[in-house]
Amino acid sequence: MSTPAPRTASVRRATSESTIELELDLDGTGRSTIDTTVPFFDHLLTAFAKHSLTDLTVRATGDTHIDAHHTVEDTAIVLGQAIRQALGDKSGISRYGDALVPLDEALAQAVVDISGRPYLVHSGEPAGYEFHLIGGHFTGSLVRHTFEAIAFHAGLTMHVTLVAGRDPHHIAEAEYKAFARAFRQAKALDPLVAGIPSTKGAL
């Protein structure tokens, strides 16, 4: 039996607003070294790595003296690009994943299809959530924005729904953990799948 090719990627992106260096291994154990200079985003990416069983290293710097937005967005873009690169032709993957994850009063659901068709449906956050400042640097609006960037650049169809939640920190973390668990299922290699899991023969 042949050994599967490593599902790894290394991506660097530099603009006038940020410099991002990211490495990942989709078949890891959840180890991570994250430094985006935005502490709460570090927390979310660490949770993503841990619960998706993806080894992840991120080094990012940017114009956070203006706003965290550019650095966070660009990191999410690079994460999506790396996921797409590491997935290769997607042969043998489960393709679909879903998860329902609680964090105290918060409850989030995520459904992922590694479809090659970028699409995000994101709903349920309470009115005004996008204006909350979490951890001093990270606004609630960036949760949806990072999911959009990941979905678009990785080629994922994602439905993320907040079922319940009050605390802004818990809401964001529950959503990221739900995404991680759903992605973990979708990226998993399924021994019953022969080739690419699509009637079209391509994803």
Q: DSSP 3-state assignment of 62? A: strand
Tens digit of each residue's pLDDT (9 = 90 or more) over 129-174: 999 999 888 999 999 999 999 999 999 999 999 999 999 999 999 9
Distance CA 129, CA 66 (A): 21
Which pLDDT does position 165 carry in this prediction?
Answer: 98
Q: Is residue 194 part of a domain?
A: no
- pLDDT at 19 (0 to 100): 98
Which among 23, 27, 32 has a CA at the least distance from the CA of 7? 27
Domain boundaries, position 173 = 8-187
Q: Using one digit for the tens of pLDDT, what is the confidence trace for 21-54? A: 999 999 999 999 999 999 999 999 999 999 999 9
Per-residue pLDDT at 173: 98
Residue 2: inside a domain: no
Tens digits of residue pLDDT in 81-126: 999 999 999 999 999 999 999 999 999 999 999 999 999 999 999 9
pLDDT attached to residue 5: 86
Q: How many whole angstroms separate alpha carbon 75 and alpha carbon 142?
A: 12
The CATH number assigned to the domain holding 119 equals 3.30.230.40
Q: Confidence band (pLDDT; 50, 70, 90) for 2? A: low
Examine residue 3 and state whether it is found in any structural domain, yes or no.
no
- Note the pLDDT of residue 3: 66
**CA–CA distances in Å: residue 2 to residues 5, 11:** 9, 27
Q: SS3 string of 124-172? A: CCCCCHHHCEECCCEECHHHHHHHHHHHHHHCCEEEEEEEECCCHHHHH
1 part of a folded domain: no
Contact indicator for 149, 77 with CB cutoff of 8 Å: yes
pLDDT for the residue numbered 201? 82
The answer to whether residue 195 sits within a structural domain is no
203 inside domain: no
Q: pTM for this structure?
A: 0.96
Helix, coil or strand: residue 100: strand
User: How far, in Å, CA of 34 to CA of 80, rounded?
Assistant: 16
Is pLDDT of 55 > 70?
Answer: yes
Cα-based torsion angle of the residue sequence 62, 67, 69, 71 in order, rounded to the nearest 10 degrees:
10
Number of domains into which the chain is organized: 1
CB neighbours of residue 6 within 10 Å = 11
Structure-token match 């490593």, residue found: 6
For residue 198, tell me if it sits in a domain.
Answer: no
Domain-located, residue 98: yes
pLDDT at residue 1 tops 60: no
Measured CA to CA, the distance from residue 200 to residue 128 in angstroms comes to: 42
More confident residue, 193 or 177: 177
